Amino acid sequence: MNNPLISVVLCTYNGGRFIDEQLNSILNQTYIHLEIIISDDFSSDNTYEILKKHVEKDKRIRLFRNEKNIGFNLNFKEACSKASGELIAFADQDDIWLPEKLERMIAGWKGNVPLMYCNSVRFADKQPPVKVRHYPGYRRFEGTDSRKLSVFNTVSGHAMIIKKNLLQMTPVFLPGIFYDWQLAAIAACNGGVGYIEDILVFQRVHDSNITIRERFDPKSKESKLLFSQMVEQHLAAFSSIPNMPVAHVQYFSRLISLWSSGANKKFSWPLFFFLFKNRKLVFNYKKRIFSFFSHLKHCYRLTANY
C-alpha cells in the first residue's frame, strides 16, 4: 500500500481512567498519515474534558459527542460514517498501542484482503508486561473459510484495520452483535482475512470490559444460556453475508437450525454429532497434537444444557 490515510475510530464512554494513555499511544504512532475520529457517548465522568485538551494540541483529532447515550454499537457505526480514510482502524478506550502498530500492519498487509489484524496480549496491572510470549495452544483465524468463525472468534476489533468499503457489504454494528466477529466473517467471504503474529496491542482487562464470551463457564447454567444466545444471534447475522460459498451457506443453515432446536433440549444428539463431525472447523482456534478427546469434551459442553 502506498501511504493510505488511516482513520482511527475511537469510541469513548466514561473512560477517564485510561483514555489519556491510550490516546497518547495513538498520537505517537510512527505512521503519521492518519486522522483520529473520537465519538464520546455522553460520558458522565471527565472523559470529554480530557479529550478536548488533546484536540487543542493535535489537529488530527476530530471530536464528536452524542447528545444522549446511544450505546456501544450505534456509537461505533456513527463514528465510522465520519471517517475519511481508505482504511479504518478501531481503538478501544482503555488499551495501549505499540508505537509501530499501524506502520508494521501496513507493511505486512497480505495481498488484497479487506481486513488485517495483529496479535495482542492482555494485562491487568497498571503497566503492560515487559516480556510477552505467544500462547502455543491458540490459533488465530486467517484465510477465507468463514465456517471457522461459526462458534468462536479470534479476530479482535482493537487489533484490526479494514478497508472502508467492507462496511458496505452487509449491515454491521447490529445490537447484540460483536462487530469484530461479524466483520471477520464478512471479510472471509470477500477476499479473506490477513494476520500478522506481531504483538502490537496491550489489551487492558478490568471489571468494566469483560464480555459474555470471556465469562463463559461451562458449569454455569446462566453463563451457558448467555453464550448460547450470543452464538445464535451471530449465526443469524452471518446468514446474510454476500458472496458466501454455497457449501458454507449450507453449513451455517444446518448449524443454526440445530443450534436453535438444541436450545430447548437437555441434550441434542444431532447438534453434538454435527459439531463433532465439523470439529476442525468449530475448534479451529485450538492447537493440539492429540485433539480428539479435547474436541469430544467441548462438543459435549456446547451441546448440554444443565
106-129 tens-digit pLDDT: 999 999 999 999 999 999 977 887
Backbone angles phi, psi at 34, to 5 degrees: -145, 160
Reply yes or no on whether the pLDDT at 156 is more than 60: yes
Confirm if 299 and 276 have CB atoms less than 8 A apart.
yes
Q: Which three cell numbers stand for residue 2?
A: 502506498
Distance CA(5)–CA(85), nearest Å, equals 5
Distance CA(87)–CA(34), nearest Å, equals 9
Reply yes or no on whether the pLDDT at 56 is more than 90: yes
Reply yes or no on whether the pLDDT at 101 is more than 50: yes
What pLDDT, on the 0 to 100 scale, is given for residue 273? Answer: 98
Give me the half-sphere count of Cα atoms (radius 13 Å) on the Cβ side of residue 169: 28
Reply yes or no on whether the pLDDT at 303 is more than 90: yes
Whole-number percent of the chain with pLDDT over 90:
84
The better pLDDT of the pair 14, 289 is held by 14
pLDDT tens by residue, 170-223? 999 999 999 999 999 999 999 999 999 999 999 999 876 645 444 567 678 888
Q: What is the torsion angle, in degrees rounded to the nearest 10, for the CA atoms of residue 8, residue 12, residue 18 and residue 22?
A: 0
Backbone angles phi, psi at 286, to 5 degrees: -95, 125
What pLDDT, on the 0 to 100 scale, is given for residue 204? Answer: 94
pLDDT tens by residue, 7-42? 999 999 999 999 999 999 999 999 999 999 999 999
Lowest mean pLDDT among 64-78, 194-208, 266-280: 194-208
Residue with cell 508505537: 99
Q: Which residues contact 241 (CB under 8 A, 6 or more apart)?
A: 146, 169, 170, 185, 186, 189
- Report the predicted TM-score, pTM, of the whole model to 2 decimal places: 0.94
What pLDDT, on the 0 to 100 scale, is given for residue 213? Answer: 44
Average pLDDT over residues 246-264: 95
- Alpha-carbon separation of residue 29 from 23, 142, 153 (angstroms): 10, 25, 27
Domains identified in the chain and CATH numbers? 6-204 (3.90.550.10), 213-303 (no CATH)
Average pLDDT along the chain: 93
Confirm if 10 and 93 have CB atoms less than 8 A apart.
yes
